[in-house]
Structure 1
């Protein structure tokens, strides 16, 4: 592993020879947790978290490191599901680890040593926030990338989910301009929240996507919702054509999915969607269908 400024190179032999490991795992396992545990320990030890949690020299000569007690107290209040001290052999649930990393990212700075206080046996310090955050993000992302973890920290230290490429391509589509502000809001909410690392957020995003589908059925002129929905499909394919028939069947199936599975309703008869990959498939299926309808009806920007 090689230092490149404040970042880390991920250019290992196996990356060059075989390509990077696919980011498919949504679980932070014991191996990655152990490295995260060590990474946090090292930054407590070198005073990097003193950027936010500053220890003051007892002689009144200024900052001299990280106040670990304050770090721990704020951590347990802001991430109340975490145990302190961190236990290397006990891996928290993945969303909690991501919260922990975001907490650390808010606190980190690159420590710059000043004068040496010989009586207290420490250096006085100041911190370079940008360099410290950049280095922390880079190290975390190396751990995730090398272990195929489907998360990353962005440049602000916030956790993001790494989507499979076809999904990322679809969600990167243009802004919504349906002519109805509430439909636009539902679509944008669905897209943005589906990037969340938390499965519950993605379930919520999927619900909003199905809600936007129901609302889109009323955007075209017509005597009632059925006629309006038929008019919208007529914009996407020639009436009576095989493609028009396929689109009508897809609209019926997507409506049935929304009513049968726990997407738009929460009755005990609804079937829950437990697996993330199943949720991905359903979300992309609906999103792609709505994208076609929006493009065909001139409701894209």
Structure 2
């Protein structure tokens, strides 16, 4: 991992920004243009030597045409001054990661003044991922490319640890499925996935209320909380208030339903806040009732 003086002296900035701005895009643009120019993307899109002696670079036309089909929202030619939407940039980076290799020069073709090339896929992918992630870190952007070239969102470390180590053994397969889907989707860089994660977490919360024996949902929910904290205790009362407030939030905001009377969440920060709040509550319930957590 490359570091700069400011990283060593003051520590790295928390990666909390979820929009790729013009400065960062210009850096990513330059990485991609460099990869096209030096033939790195020729692994998937090889330009053939006119004499038929093998690949000698990157076929830019093939790169552009397949990119346009796989990432149809991208505008070509790329411009450092026209910033695509962040999810589109992340798709572009995944596309590039799927095509990259470290070019290895072979025989020199004196007539055309080029080398014939082969590629080291692992070395090229590792270098591309490292270069992209360095730019993400230096600009405090909350994304990274994995070792396989997949873009994912970074959560604050404390939240990431909690979500990453959570286990779901509720005894109800559908509740477990909803919780696992919520955990996976909240890590996505795509806004729709994160909103879907919140919806699935709220659905799981409603199902949790019905897992204990009882004549109706209210009795079952009370029995659930009684297993987590002693009836009549201050913490039991706090849990009841939080459960009621979370239920009210689910009914008032456009999380699970889309009635015209419900208020829309207007930012991903709001989505993340409500997800974190609900997940903390659900985790306490799961741990307190020996259902995971």
Q: Give the TM-score range, shorter chain.
A: over 0.9
- Pairing 1:1-301 to 2, within 5 Å after superposition: 9-300=1-292
Aligned to 1:172, the other structure's residue is in SS state helix
CA separation in 1, counterparts of 2:184 and 2:7? 30
CA separation in 2, counterparts of 1:156 and 1:120? 35
| Matched residues, number | 293
Measured on the aligned residues, the alpha-carbon RMSD in Å equals: 1.0
CA separation in 2, counterparts of 1:236 and 1:29? 45
Structure 1 moving runs of 4+ over 2 Å: none
TM-score (norm 1): 0.95
CA separation in 2, counterparts of 1:163 and 1:10? 22
CA deviation string 1:194-236 (max 9, x = no partner): 0001111110000000000011111111111111111100011
CA separation in 1, counterparts of 2:94 and 2:60? 17
Shift of 1:23: 0.8
Shift of 1:63: 1.2
Shift of 1:241: 1.2
Unaligned residue ranges in structure 2 (runs of 5+): none
Unaligned residue ranges in structure 1 (runs of 5+): 1-8
